[in-house]
A = this chain, B = another copy of it.
C-alpha cells in the first residue's frame, strides 16, 4: 500500500492539531515525519509517529515549549530545548548554525534538554539545502556496552556529516552501532536475520537476531573498540558543549528524553571549486571495480535521493497496520 506525501503530511498534521499543536508547529512536525518516510527512513517516519504522540501524552515532549538561548561561549551558542519536540529544536539549532556560518564561516550551536530528533539526516539535508556543510550529533539512552564491557553504558549516538553537491548532496547519517535501532526494529518486524552480527544476546554471544539484541541492550559498536571510543567522545562533546545530560542521566529514566546535541555548519569558501572537488571525489570513488557486478558503489545519500524520487512519484509504501492505527488517532 502506498500513500501520497501530501496525504501523509495532512494526516499527521491533523492529529497534531488535535494534540494541541499550533498550526505552524503541526505542519512543521508533520512535514519532517512525512519527509522521513518519503526518503525511505520509515522507522523514523510513519512507523515512529504513534510513539511520538505517546511521548506528548506522557508530557515528556512539550508541544508548547520553545528553545531559549542560555549563554554564549564566544561564537558558540548554548540553547535549552525545554523538552520541545526534538525535530523542531534540531531544525531551529541547525538553522542558527547555518546563519552563524554564513556570517562567520563556521557556526556551532549546542543544545541541551531536547528530545529525539528522529532521522538525524534531516538536519544534514537542511544544511546542504542552504549550500552549507552540516555536522551534527546527539547522545541517546544507553544501548551499547563499552568495548570490554557487558552492560549498556554508551548510546549509539548518531553522527551526521553533510556536504553540498549540485549533482547530488552527500549526506552520511550513521549510528555508532553496526545497525541503528531503527534498522534493528525493521529487521525484527520483518522477521529477518541480520546479514552480519549486530550485537550480543542475553548470554553474551554475538547474534544476528534483532530481537535478541534489542532486548539485551547490547548493540555492537561499529568496528568494535573504535565505535565504542567514538561514541564515548560524542557523548563527551555534546554534554560538555551543551552542559546538558550525559547518557547516564538519560538512561536513569525509562523513556529517552532530555538529551544533548551539537550542530555545526561551515560555509564553503568557494561553491564552484567545492563542487568540482566533490564531483572529483565521488567519481574517483565510483571508479573502483565492483565486488558484485550487480551492486554499484553508492555514496552516502545517493540511495536517499533515488528512494525520494520514487516515493514522490509512486507514493510512500506504508505498513498497513501502522497506517490504520494512525488514521484512527
- Copies of this chain, complex-wide, total 2
Residues 139-195 (chain A) with a chain B CB within 8 angstroms: 145-154, 159, 161, 163, 170, 172, 174, 178
A310 within 8 A of B: no
Give the distance to chain B from A229, nearest Cβ to Cβ, in Å.
4
Contacts A108-B106, A232-B281, A233-B163 known; A223 to B178 CB distance under 8 Å?
yes
Let me know if A104 is at the binding interface, CB within 8 A.
yes
Q: Mark A210-236, 1 if CB is under 8 A from B, else 0.
A: 000000000000111011011011011
Q: Is the CB of A247 within 8 A of B284?
A: yes
A106 to chain B minimum Cβ distance, whole angstroms, is: 5
Contact A106 to B292, CB < 8 A, known contacts A240-B278, A278-B240, A300-B229: no
In the assembly, what is the distance between CA of A33 and CA of B21, in Å?
60
Is A274 an interface position by the 8 A CB rule? Answer: yes
* Residue numbers in B under 8 Å from A287 (CB-CB): 151, 153
A133-B240, A145-B288, A150-B288 known, 9 other contacts, Cβ within 8 Å? A75-B105, A76-B269, A108-B266, A149-B290, A150-B291, A170-B233, A178-B226, A229-B300, A233-B300
Could you write out 23 A-B pairs with CB less than 8 Å apart?
A74-B103, A75-B105, A76-B266, A106-B106, A145-B288, A146-B286, A147-B297, A148-B298, A149-B289, A149-B290, A150-B289, A150-B290, A153-B284, A161-B233, A163-B233, A229-B300, A232-B299, A233-B300, A236-B278, A240-B277, A243-B277, A246-B284, A247-B281
